Amino acid sequence: MAKHPKASRDEQSSEDRLLLREGRKIVEALGQTLAPLVEVVLHDLTAPEHSVVAISNNLSGREIGDAATEMGLARITDAGFPEVVANYPNRFPDGRPVKSTSIGLKNSAGEYVAAICLNMDVSLLGAVTAGLGQLMQTAAAAPVAETLTPRGSGEARESVRAALERFAAARNTTPIGMTLAQRREAVRELADSGHLNLRHALAEVARTLGVARSTVYTYLPSEQ
């Protein structure tokens, strides 16, 4: 049996109210999460002259009961309007640049009932980005190439690491995978070959073996 037209309209109205009710919770939650840079607004598209029904983290100065925007009016007149329009440029009334996203909510009849709009104030982010860019700028290249690594320490680190890798490879393992006995034997070999006399040698042993420098001292031969 077909439903009475009035019953169908009542059911649709109930569904629309449910969408708006759930939309309010989403707006409140998003506003709290994205504060202070993002304003979140809920529009009731069934009442375009008074469409703003919830606003969280108010950055635009709008009030409850304000009219729909151009985006909202476009949705009202065209059920085929995109449901999500993301990251489009916009501006607050005072001129601050905004990145906006508009999400249309349809009922089961395919009609737009509401829209959730997010408006991010990008003016502060732009200033921070510009400041960071200036901070990171460098001038022309120096007259000579320069490194801040102590002279000779790079070669020492490479030599110590290479010796440990060769020792481990000969035993079908890696420096980090060596047993305690193997580590002690490897450190003894480094001491015998003079590697431990190189600058920062113990620090490189610790780094290559994946242990603390204090642990390396326990691997040293007793005469060390």
**Domains in the chain, please, with CATH?**
13-126 (3.30.450.20), 153-219 (no CATH)
The residue written with tokens 């700028």 in the block is: 137
Predicted local distance difference test score (pLDDT) of residue 12: 74
Which stretches within the chain are classed as H helix?
Answer: 5-34, 70-77, 123-136, 153-169, 180-193, 201-209, 213-219
- Give per-residue pLDDT as tens, 66-112: 999 999 999 999 989 999 999 999 999 999 999 999 999 999 999 99
Residue 205 CA to residue 186 CA, distance in Å, equals 10
| Residue range 29-38: mean pLDDT, rounded | 95
Predicted local distance difference test score (pLDDT) of residue 148: 57
Predicted local distance difference test score (pLDDT) of residue 224: 44
Residue 130: pLDDT band with limits 50, 70, 90: confident
Candidate from 87-96, 116-125, 214-223 with smallest mean pLDDT: 214-223
- Give per-residue pLDDT as tens, 148-166: 555 555 666 788 889 999 9
Predicted local distance difference test score (pLDDT) of residue 1: 44
Residue 194: pLDDT band with limits 50, 70, 90: confident
| Residue range 129-139: mean pLDDT, rounded | 83
Q: What pTM was estimated for this model as a whole?
A: 0.60
Predicted local distance difference test score (pLDDT) of residue 149: 54
Q: Please give the angle made by the CA atoms of 110, 116 and 121, to the nearest 5 degrees.
A: 150
The residue written with tokens 């069934």 in the block is: 46
Residue 194 CA to residue 146 CA, distance in Å, equals 29
